[in-house]
Amino acid sequence: MNIRKLAVPLCFLLFGIVVMTLVLTGTVKIFEIPTGSMTPTIQPGDHVTATRIFNPAGKVEKGDLVIFDAIKASARLSDSKYVQRVTAIEGDTVDLIDGRLHVNGRPLPDRDGKIPGGAHPFARDWPQPSYPHVVPAGRIFTLGDNHENALDSRYFGSFPVEAVTHRPGRIILPLSRAGKIE
């Protein structure tokens, strides 16, 4: 039997085994996005691949997109995963000035940080974080990209970086939106 005829099928088989191992061990996971809190970056119904972050301390930086365990972030949240953007890390000062969030004295860009009128519907009865807020050691402050429809650190405050479980990498479905997440 010719070894060259077996090379391509064996490569596909090996690739499939590697992918299945990564998925079954939780190193790579596929998440379906249920809400519009990260619009326009990630849309409701998008399926994204995400890599597991083991020991996230020191591996999460401002601007990173992260997936975190909501119940570990705040006892007020349901037991699910949230996707948000890291806006501030330990030692940063988050302040609310004239309805706009500032980090370390600098206003967030126009799309980022404008507080919509009133509280998020799920957070109406929650005590709001007080500002200025210095992010404590080992904690992060996150925002959804769609501030009009995001239940984020503006409502539940900073949370332990250990709640971060994955880093989203690519949209895989729908195919019309497939590609790297920025």
Question: For the chain, which domains are there?
Answer: 3-175 (2.10.109.10)
Q: How far is the C-alpha of 120 from the C-alpha of 82, rounded, in Å?
A: 15
- 167 pLDDT above the threshold of 50: yes
Phi/psi of residue 95, nearest 5 degrees: -135, 155
Q: How far is the C-alpha of 45 from the C-alpha of 53, rounded, in Å?
A: 23
pLDDT digits 0-9 by tens, 58-96: 789 999 999 999 989 987 887 789 999 999 999 999 998
Do residues 25 and 42 touch, judged by C-beta distance below 8 A? Answer: no
Mean pLDDT, rounded, for 149-154: 86
The confidence score (pLDDT) of residue 62 equals 93
Three-state SS for 93? strand
pLDDT band at residue 112 under the 50/70/90 scheme:
very low
Lowest mean pLDDT among 17-26, 91-100, 163-172: 17-26
What count of Cα atoms within 13 Å lies in the side-chain half-sphere of residue 165?
Answer: 18
DSSP-assigned letter for residue 56: -
pLDDT band at residue 1 under the 50/70/90 scheme:
low
Dihedral over alpha carbons 110, 178, 82, 133 (to 10 degrees): -30
- 111 pLDDT above the threshold of 60: no
Three-state SS for 3? helix
Lowest mean pLDDT among 48-52, 84-88, 122-126: 122-126
Q: How far is the C-alpha of 174 from the C-alpha of 160, rounded, in Å?
A: 32
